[in-house]
Amino acid sequence: MRVLGIETSCDETAAAVVSDGRDVLSNVVHQQLADHQPFAGVVPEVAARAHLDQVGRVVQAALDQSGGGWDGIDAVAATAGPGLIGGVLVGVMTGKALAAARGLPFIAVNHLEAHALTARLTDDVQFPYLLLLVSGGHCQLLEVEGVGRYRRLGTTIDDAVGEAFDKTAKMLGLGYPGGPAVEAAAKGGDAGRFELPRPLKGRDGCDFSFSGLKTRVRMTIEGLPPGPMQDRDIADLCASFQVAVADVLAERTGRAIDMFRAAHPRGRTLVVAGGVAANQAIRTRLQALAADRGLGFAVPAPALCTDNGAMVAWAGVERFRLGLTDGLDFRPRPRWPLDPDAPKAIGAGVKA
């Protein structure tokens, strides 16, 4: 079985062909960094127009690189939410048109589920497992019991961790995307120089908060001597920020492990997914946590942590195996929680 996957939920136009034998036959990603760097962040209208310009070329490249073109393609999957609705519409309408023209089934994929299932593509992780999903728009802890079966244990009550990285980078003049820039600067920094808070650490539950940490970074910058920031100040502040984030993620995840084990004694794996999972310092910290708690640890390669078509195609494979396809009247969703029954976190701006 081969599935073509299309991803356009944010600022990557991506397409891939994946087989049910876990073979990534192609994985083409067009990044829009040059389009958004002047604004130091993603502009939804700019992203949607760029998707329109690139999606046809990217899909054709994925088909060509797969070695078979349309031969052997059994279904077309596309991210149908959550995400920036203009971009989601581009991907969904492209996927529907291709499916209709080729007489193939169409599969509407939840972007979060695509991230959640990627470890099954890369590491053949078995259900159930505990997932920490960390990206620019999402920060959640979920019990993954099966395809379409998720129980949320915690979420952000304000900023997602990737958003905090981007905003910190912007305040420090490091440009966009912020995550890789902060990580690179932190490598030469002293993480003990600046005292930063660990929001919600030690509190009951597994929810996250990063707004206060971001605010303290701003106040720390304002407290430095007047004039241009020195490279040493930037490096030390990035290192301090990164360690604070890792401390929070590890402590909150540790609490989630207790809840996961109580509900699923046979669960054996902690999975980390999403763009922030590409951060090596955070990976190392969470891997040590898993080892200390007797869990296996799985995190996709960095190229499969950030948004890509292979994760969408694999989610399509998983759903197609179960006979889960969608009609051409499926409506894209700007919000699409994995656990719609989860209680709303206390705080504004919850990412669902």
Q: pLDDT of 80-103, one tens digit each?
A: 999 999 999 999 999 999 999 999
pLDDT beyond 70 at 352: no
pLDDT attached to residue 180: 94
> C-alpha angle 298/304/307, rounded to 5°?
130
pLDDT attached to residue 271: 98
How high is the mean pLDDT of the chain?
Answer: 94
Q: pLDDT band at residue 346, thresholds of 50, 70 and 90? A: low
What structural domains and CATH numbers belong to the chain?
Answer: 2-116+304-321 (3.30.420.40), 127-302 (3.30.420.40)
Task: Return the percentage of the chain with pLDDT > 70, whole number.
Answer: 98
Q: What does DSSP say about strands 269-273 and 149-155: parallel, antiparallel, or unpaired?
A: unpaired
153 neighbors 206 (Cβ within 8 angstroms): yes
Q: pLDDT band at residue 177, thresholds of 50, 70 and 90? A: confident
DSSP string, 50-112: HHHHHHHHHHHHHHHHTTSTTTTEEEEEEEEESS-HHHHHHHHHHHHHHHHHHT--EEEEEHH
Whether this prediction's pTM lies above 0.75 is answered by: yes
Q: What is the pLDDT of residues 242-271, one digit of tens each?
A: 999 999 999 999 999 999 999 999 999 999
Q: Count Cβ neighbours within 10 Å for each residue of 289-304 and write b for 16 or more, e otherwise.
A: bbeeeebebbbbeeeb
- What residues have CB less than 8 Å from 245, skipping those under 6 apart? 161, 164, 165, 210, 213, 282
Q: pLDDT band at residue 59, thresholds of 50, 70 and 90? A: very high
pLDDT attached to residue 350: 38
Q: pLDDT band at residue 347, thresholds of 50, 70 and 90? A: low
pLDDT beyond 70 at 318: yes
Mean pLDDT of 19-44: 87
pLDDT attached to residue 31: 86
The tokens for 40 are 């130091």
pLDDT beyond 70 at 349: no
pLDDT beyond 50 at 348: no
